[in-house]
Amino acid sequence: MIRKYPNLCKPITIGNVTFRSRMFSAPMSGAEITPECTIGPKSTAFYELRAKGGAAAVTVSELMVHPATDASHAYHLNMQTVGSVASFTYTADAIKRHGAVPSVEFSHSGQYAGTYLLDKNKKEQMTQYGPSEGTRPDGLPVTPLTKEQIGDIVKSYYDTAKLAKLCGYEMIMVHGGHGWLVNQFLSPYFNHRTDEYGGSFENRVRFAREVLTAVREAVGPGFPIEFRMSGSELFDGGYGLDEGVRIAQAVEDLVDLIHVSAGSYKFGFSVTHPSMFREHGCNVYLAEEIKKHVSKPVATVGGLNDPAMMDELIGSGKVDVVVMGRALLADPFLPSKVMENRDDEIVKCLRCFVCMAERGATQTRRCSVNPLIGREWEGDEIPEARKKKKVLVAGGGVAGLEAAVTAARRGHKVVLCEKSSRLGGILKSEQAIDFKREMYELGLTLERQARLEGVEIRLNTEVTAEYAEKEQADALILAVGSRPIIPPVPGIDGPHVVVVNNYYLEKEKVKGSEVAVLGGGLAGCECAIHLAREGKKVHLVEMRKELAPDANIRHRPILLKELEEQGVVCHMEHQGLRVTEEGIWCLADGQEVLIPASSVICAVGQRARRDVAESLLDCAPVVKQIGDCVRPANICMAIYQGYHAALDI
């Protein structure tokens, strides 16, 4: 067999362990941490799915090695906690039985202790320890660690490494980046000590070397140790790439794999976890440069999901291993699909941050494009239907496509009708915005899956009551979507006005250097950013007091910062009155004001097509309503509802 991506599929030996490919699963928090801070069965299933999907290594995250000075609600591994050793062992077994190498990340959050506590108020009742005295960005004081405490923490790395090896882990990742404790000692921004742990470069790297030496003594020679570091801290006062190279050189005799990430906690989340506004592989240059100066293998991470790009990185010698996090949430089987030359079936990560937003908001794990995430213990195999039925799906958007694919996989005869000439629904509009291209591609991928599963697709076919009655389906899934809201504003139908859904079809109508976007929700904000990137002066007009309230808690601050950096002029509490050739006249503070623009984008929201849905409610014995026709929401909700509606038939 000729592999399409031979470099990516090539095995690699690190230490005395051989990994089946160059595709590793990054440390990601599981779906469940028990009250005793052990790995619950939901998390075991979470990690196992990445192994089953073909990742060469699966790293369990994030094991806090010294709870006495790092009281975060994260995994703890010690003999004193009942069930701790057993839960870690079962998880290693679950990873190993699928041919992947089980790894575990050792961490200490230092002055950011309490980050993972469920009760955020408890942070103020704790002592936050760091290399030096200071104040955190949130105002909490930082207490410097004593030499005795440093020694005890180093010993805890040794003790925990012994246990991890006992539990069956075959690699240990020591987290030395992202602003956690090891990085805090390395960083001139955090470390102001005057003893042997601070000041000179040699002193600042001392703690990292002591930690790595302790781990090496615990696991012995040949056992792979992976050191995760920030190639550059990428903020004023932190170290840059030149010093990142020196750090890698200073520890390479103690490690087997140098895992190069970027940035620092609280100083650039969208850099450490590249947002949709950044180029894929934007942090690769850090790993590429470090690899030139060390003899050990080097891994890169951050927004990587394209097999062609990843294969080139390895084939050109820039890196030795690629590490994926969110990409393997979106599609845990990405590595297997690459190995089997089925890369056209990969469901790509949208970099929408739903996964991380839900961790912070609800303590759950979700993914916009993968309804299995957080529910892996229920099984990843779609059950075959006991009785095969004819299923009619009305609507070929993301909800309808997901429902059709899932129903077909259950063995049902599925007919999908779409009233327009193309599938994809509202996702079609995303093709015009470069940083949302993967949302458009999601529609193409779901269409490809539907055709592979044998779904009969009928385009230019609207499902009416008469049509549905004629089809005599056993089940009807209504995914008829929503329509854009057009406010009753004089001039909104003018030749220089484009509804945001139609922008991809009518880009030529957006003329001139100054554009106004009416509507400051998520769609309006993202369109404004796109237009500003194209060099236009953009006015964003919103009648509410805040922008993008429909964006999740991780994406929203990044979005707002991008609006600012792109120079978008935001007009809050401005109610549109009329659209003219001059722009949009608005009511603000009781006065009429003109927002100048030669073109206007209307992006005030969507309204469910309830009239269409309700006309079809009695057209089959079983009727399911999903997606925007229930309530306009997001891709995540559409995927979840489509998937589960099909499972219920």
Report if residue 235 sits inside a domain: yes
Nearest CA among 546, 543, 516 for reference residue 531: 516
Q: What is the pLDDT of residues 538-592, one digit of tens each?
A: 999 999 999 999 999 999 999 999 999 999 999 999 999 999 999 999 999 999 9
How many other C-beta atoms lie within 10 A of the C-beta of residue 515?
25
Q: Quick one: residue 135, left, alpha or beta (phi over 0 = left, psi -120 to 50 = alpha)?
A: beta
The pLDDT assigned to 120 comes to 62
- Interval 277-297 mean pLDDT: 97
For residue 17, the cross-strand partners are: 14
Element (H, E) at 638: helix 635-647
The pLDDT assigned to 267 comes to 84
Residues 59, 103 contacting (CB under 8 angstroms): yes
E strands, 32-177, are 57-64, 101-107, 128-130, 134-135, 141-144, 171-176
Instruction: Return the minimum-mean-pLDDT range out of 41-55, 78-92, 122-136.
Output: 122-136
Report if residue 1 sits inside a domain: no
Global confidence as pTM: 0.95
The residues, ordered by sequence, that sit 6+ positions from 381 with a Cβ below 8 Å of its Cβ are: none
Q: What is the pLDDT of residues 402-414, one digit of tens each?
A: 999 999 999 999 9
Instruction: Return the minimum-mean-pLDDT range out of 11-20, 26-35, 282-291, 522-531.
Output: 26-35
Check whether residue 65 and residue 179 sit in a common domain. Answer: yes
Q: For residue 612, what is the domain's CATH number?
A: 3.40.50.720
Check whether residue 475 and residue 540 sit in a common domain. Answer: no
Report if residue 25 sits inside a domain: yes
The pLDDT assigned to 268 comes to 80
Q: What is the pLDDT of residues 299-349, one digit of tens each?
A: 999 999 999 999 999 999 999 999 999 999 999 999 999 999 999 999 999
- Interval 79-85 mean pLDDT: 87
For residue 575, the cross-strand partners are: 587
Q: For residue 520, what is the domain's CATH number?
A: 3.50.50.60
Check whether residue 252 and residue 173 sit in a common domain. Answer: yes
Query: What are the tokens at 642?
Result: 């489509």
- Interval 64-78 mean pLDDT: 87
Q: What is the number of domains present in the chain?
A: 3
Check whether residue 560 and residue 618 sit in a common domain. Answer: no
Nearest CA among 384, 452, 398, 394 for reference residue 426: 398
Check whether residue 504 and residue 589 sit in a common domain. Answer: yes
The pLDDT assigned to 322 comes to 98
Which of 334, 353, 378 terminates a domain? The answer is 378
Alpha helices in 192-231 (DSSP H): 201-204, 206-219
Report if residue 384 sits inside a domain: no
Report if residue 504 sits inside a domain: yes
Q: Residue 266 — pLDDT band, cuts 50, 70, 90?
A: confident
Distance CA 393, CA 526 (A): 31
Check whether residue 321 and residue 456 sit in a common domain. Answer: no
Look at residue 608 and tell me whether its pLDDT is greater than 80.
yes
Distance CA 166, CA 153 (A): 20
**Residue 147, helix vs strand vs coil:** helix
Identity at 557, one-letter amino acid code: P
CA distances from 421 to 426, 432, 455, 458, 606 (A): 13, 18, 16, 9, 21
Which of 329, 351, 378 terminates a domain? The answer is 378
Report if residue 492 sits inside a domain: no
Check whether residue 343 and residue 412 sit in a common domain. Answer: no
Distance CA 296, CA 293 (A): 9
Identity at 563, one-letter amino acid code: L
Which of 378, 404, 426 terminates a domain? The answer is 378
Distance CA 248, CA 222 (A): 19
Check whether residue 225 and residue 96 sit in a common domain. Answer: yes
Report if residue 489 sits inside a domain: no
Check whether residue 425 and residue 510 sit in a common domain. Answer: no
Check whether residue 45 and residue 141 sit in a common domain. Answer: yes
Element (H, E) at 522: helix 522-533
Instruction: Please provide residue 153's backbone torsions phi and psi, each rounded to the nearest 5 degrees.
Output: -65, -45
Check whether residue 144 and residue 210 sit in a common domain. Answer: yes
Residues 365, 356 contacting (CB under 8 angstroms): no
Residue span of the structural domain in which 194 resides: 6-378
Instruction: Please provide residue 298's backbone torsions phi and psi, each rounded to the nearest 5 degrees.
Output: -125, 135
Check whether residue 548 and residue 635 sit in a common domain. Answer: no
Q: For residue 49, what is the domain's CATH number?
A: 3.20.20.70
The pLDDT assigned to 86 comes to 96
Query: What are the tokens at 106?
Result: 């050792």
Report if residue 383 sits inside a domain: no
Alpha helices in 235-333 (DSSP H): 241-251, 269-272, 284-291, 307-315, 326-330
Cα separation of the two ends of the chain = 39
Nearest CA among 459, 446, 454 for reference residue 417: 459
Distance CA 295, CA 437 (A): 38
The pLDDT assigned to 116 comes to 66
Q: What percent of the chain has pLDDT over 70?
A: 99
